[in-house]
C-alpha cells in the first residue's frame, strides 16, 4: 500500500495518494487519516521525510504544502493541517461569520515540521506553523505560531518553556518576564 514503509497498522485512510510522498521507513498506528486535496498545486502536497513514526488516530490534511522532516515521532490523536474553511487573519480578506461554513473559500498556509521533532498526545498543529528541529511539543498543545529549534513548547497556544543549552548540556527553563 505504501512503498518503502516499515510498518502500517490498519485501518488507514489515504486520500489524494498521488500528491503524497511517504519517504522511507514510515510507521503508522491504526486509524490514521492522511489527506491531500489540491486546490492550486498539482505536485507533492504532503511530504514525509524518512524514519517517521506516527501513532494511532493521527489526522494530517494538506491543500498546499505540509512538510514533515526526518526522524519525527508523533503520539496519538494529533491533527496537522495547512488549511481552514475561510480566512481569519484580521484583514480585508476575512470570512463573514454568517456565511455557511461548508461554503467558505478554503485558505491555506504551509506547515513545516523539521527533523527530529517529538509531538505529544492530542496536539493540534495549525496552518502557517514551523516547528523547529529537535523540538518537543507537549501533550494537548495547540501550535498556532512558530516554535524555534531545540525548544520544548506546551499549552494553548503552545509557548516555549525550555530551550536546550548546548554549553551546559541540559534543558534550561525559559523565564517569561511578562508573567
Q: Specify the number of domains making up the chain.
A: 1
- Phi and psi at residue 18, in whole multiples of 5°? -70, -10
Distance of CA 119 to the CA centre of its chain: 9
The torsion of the CA quartet 110, 46, 33, 88, rounded to 10 degrees, works out to: 20
Distance CA 46, CA 31 (A): 18
* Cα separation values, 51 from 82, 140, 165, Å: 22, 24, 26
Q: Kindly list the catalytic residues.
A: 85
Whether residue 123 lies inside any domain: the answer is: yes
Whether residue 179 lies inside any domain: the answer is: no
* Structural domain that includes position 73: 7-173
Given a contact cutoff of 8 angstroms between Cβ atoms, the answer to whether 124 and 78 are in contact is: yes
Per-residue model confidence as pLDDT tens for the chain (179 residues): 788 989 999 999 999 999 999 999 999 999 999 999 988 777 899 999 999 999 999 999 999 999 999 999 999 999 999 999 999 888 988 999 999 998 999 999 999 999 999 999 999 999 999 999 999 999 999 999 999 999 999 999 999 999 999 999 999 999 876 54
Distance CA 124, CA 104 (A): 21
Q: Which CATH number fits the domain that encloses residue 74?
A: 2.160.10.10
> Quick one: cell of 151?
525548544
Residues paired with 85 in a beta bridge: 106
Whether residue 1 lies inside any domain: the answer is: no
* pTM for the structure as a whole: 0.94
Amino acid at each position: 500500500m505504501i512503498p518503502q514503509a516499515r510498518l502500517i497498522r490498519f485501518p488507514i485512510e489515504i486520500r489524494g495518494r498521488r500528491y503524497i510522498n511517504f519517504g522511507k521507513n514510515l510507521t503508522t498506528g491504526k486509524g490514521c487519516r492522511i489527506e491531500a486535496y489540491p486546490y492550486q498545486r498539482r505536485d507533492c502536497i504532503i511530504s514525509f521525510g524518512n524514519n517517521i513514526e506516527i501513532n494511532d488516530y493521527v489526522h494530517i490534511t494538506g491543500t498546499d504544502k505540509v512538510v514533515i522532516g526526518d526522524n519525527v515521532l508523533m503520539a496519538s490523536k494529533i491533527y496537522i493541517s495547512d488549511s481552514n474553511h475561510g480566512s481569519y487573519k484580521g484583514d480585508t480578506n476575512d470570512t463573514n461569520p454568517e456565511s455557511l461554513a461548508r461554503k467558505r473559500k478554503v485558505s491555506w498556509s504551509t506547515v513545516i515540521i523539521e527533523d527530529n521533532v517529538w509531538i505529544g498526545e492530542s496536539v493540534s498543529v495549525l496552518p502557517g506553523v514551523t516547528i523547529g528541529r529537535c523540538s518537543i511539543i507537549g501533550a494537548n498543545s495547540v501550535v498556532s505560531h512558530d516554535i524555534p529549534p531545540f525548544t520544548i513548547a506546551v499549552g494553548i497556544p503552545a509557548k516555549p518553556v525550555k530551550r536546550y543549552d548546548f554549553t551546559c548540556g541540559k534543558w534550561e527553563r525559559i523565564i517569561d518576564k511578562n508573567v
